[in-house]
Structure 1
Amino acid sequence: MSHSPRSRPNPAGGVESTTVSETSKVEAMLGALEDEDCRAILEATADESLTANELSEACDLPLSTAYRKLELLTETGLLDEQLRISRNGKHTSEYARSVEDVHVSIENDIELSITRSGVEEHGQSAVAGAD
């Protein structure tokens, strides 16, 4: 099971579907989805981008735990990291959920079908105007 991810853009609303079948990537993503703290972060970032401090508070996690979970979620592609630009010059990372759905298929080998929507929104590297 060492296939590369396959992507299929959908013209309806910037939705993209990707299939992941590489064993290590499937295991990492399923591990992140199994983790209660990771799921809390994914839920908190469903509608808005949040910083590590904001997520720590919203999910009632120690900041060190929030950073570990954020690293796992960004490495697996479940979260996008962006730069929040501040007028005072103190820029900080913020995180946005990058997936809408994850489906597991076990027909041949285990594969994950990941649906991403709002690809244009989350693809930005910086958000200007925040203080």
Structure 2
Amino acid sequence: MSQSPSAVSAVKFAETTSNDVTTVDSAENVQHVLDALDDADCRAILEATSEDALSANEVSDTCDLPLSTTYRKLELLTDAGLLAERTRLCTTGKHSSEYVRTVEDVVVSLGASGEMGLEVTQRARSPGDR
């Protein structure tokens, strides 16, 4: 189920939207999300970023992952649309990236003809995130 990170294009959850629930019908986009959710390290990162935005170093420490692995997983999750990368502003002028989970729930469905679909519930954003 894995693909090289460079072959993954960003998943956009904008195909059908209603009440913060988005249906992803494209087989390619469904596969990107499933690949990310199939990975135990990615699931640990999603858990770690559920409450607070974390830098790559903080994710690496929290999830006990090598930094190089952390960056690969963060890219996979961001490309799959499950994490958002933001800029953390520092008073020293050295800004860094931080990552926060963007989804609350993912529901996989299998249609009568064998087609897979995903319903993704987006997290409510605070005014500071907009």
Report the TM-score when normalising by structure 2.
Answer: 0.83
Equivalent pairs counted in the alignment come to 115
Q: Per residue, is there more strand in 1 or in 2?
A: 1
SS in 1 for 2:60: helix
Counterpart-to-counterpart distance in 1, 2:127 and 2:48: 17
Tell me which of 15, 27, 31 is aligned to 1:5: 15
- Percent same amino acid at aligned positions? 50
Counterpart-to-counterpart distance in 2, 1:85 and 1:71: 21
Question: CA RMSD for the aligned pairs?
Answer: 1.5
2:107 pairs with 1:111? no
Report the TM-score when normalising by structure 1.
Answer: 0.83
Tell me which of 30, 33, 37 is aligned to 1:33: 37
Distance 1:85 1:44, change over 3 A: same
Given residue 118 of structure 1, which amino acid in structure 2 is its aligned partner?
Answer: A
User: Structure 2: which 5+ runs fail to align?
Assistant: 1-13
Runs of 4+ in structure 1 over 2 Å off: 119-124
Counterpart-to-counterpart distance in 1, 2:128 and 2:23: 19
User: Structure 1: which 5+ runs fail to align?
Assistant: 11-15, 125-131
2:56 pairs with 1:46? no
Offset at residue 121 of structure 1 (A)? 5.3
Offset at residue 7 of structure 1 (A)? 1.2
The answer on whether the counterparts of 1:83 and 1:93 sit within 8 Å (CA) in structure 2 is yes
